[in-house]
Amino acid sequence: MKAVLFDLDGTLIDTAADFIRIIQEMCRNKPCDLVTADLIRTQVSEGARAMVKLVYPELEIEDPVFLAHRQRFLDTYGEDIAVETDLFEGMYALLEQLESQDIPWGIVTNKPRWLSEALLKALHLDQRCAVLVCPEDVTHTKPDPEPMYLAARQLKLDPQDCIYIGDHPRDIDAGRNAQMYTILAAYGYLPLQHKDDLTAWQADCIVNTVEELHQVIQQRVTPKQNIDPRIS
């Protein structure tokens, strides 16, 4: 394997705390009972619509009032995108290891580009990430393999030479559809309806911690060989 690609929320970066902060503040403003942190965490990978729906279950998702609440959520998040957000523990070391081996790493996400770029910049990852593929870059998003093919093409690699890591069935489906080696990040924000049978996702590998992920990646990647200048 010659490159490592990550889903963003719940796989590479632990963004849940900031979403919890905003959703619970929306509950106070409504007002209504606070949505629990654990429940919010299960909806992070489903996107803004799903999280806002926790606060306004009585509204249809196409209702202009609901859409206004969703936009307020996104605007609030965009203004303070990394108050409590950081990489998952152990992930900095993993990225540094890949970089020391000249193994490019990147991100394929369904998170809008303006938010993805702002988040990477806030965490000083924007210059380190070799490729970033967002919904605006493709016609079909995950679970379609199109974004995976685009990421591989931008890295000038075959998709089969890439590892893809995610915490949602659509991540694993997209990676499998592109013939990438897929890793299910069971430490992430597993959706409620899919968390009881992780083997059903059909990932090539399941990891429960970032430490396990680090070990699996090191077993799979092929570091670029340092060529002795005397041999040429």
What's the pLDDT tens digit per position in 75-91?
999 999 999 999 999 99
In angstroms, the Cα distances linking 137 to 97, 165, 223, 226 are 29, 20, 29, 34
* Average pLDDT score, the chain: 94
Is position 86 annotated as part of the catalytic site? no
226, pLDDT greater than 80: no
What pLDDT, on the 0 to 100 scale, is given for residue 45? 86
Q: Please confirm whether the linkage preceding 143 is cis (ω < 30° from 0).
A: yes
The model's confidence at residue 222, banded by pLDDT at 50, 70 and 90, is confident
- Choosing from 9, 18, 167, 173, the catalytic residue is 9
- Whether 7 is catalytic: yes
91: which 2 tokens? 């992930």
Which amino acid does the sequence have at 9?
D
Q: What global pTM score does this model have?
A: 0.91
pLDDT, residue 229, reads: 42
pLDDT band, residue 119 (cuts 50/70/90): very high
- According to the model, what pLDDT value does residue 225 have? 56
Q: Between these two residues, 155 and 227, which has the higher pLDDT value?
A: 155
Mean of pLDDT values over 93-110: 97
For the segment 198-220, the average pLDDT, to the nearest whole number, is: 97
- The predicted pLDDT at position 230 comes to 42
Exactly one of 7, 14, 167, 171 is catalytic; name it: 7
Q: Identify the CA nearest to 203 among candidates 232, 180, 226.
A: 180
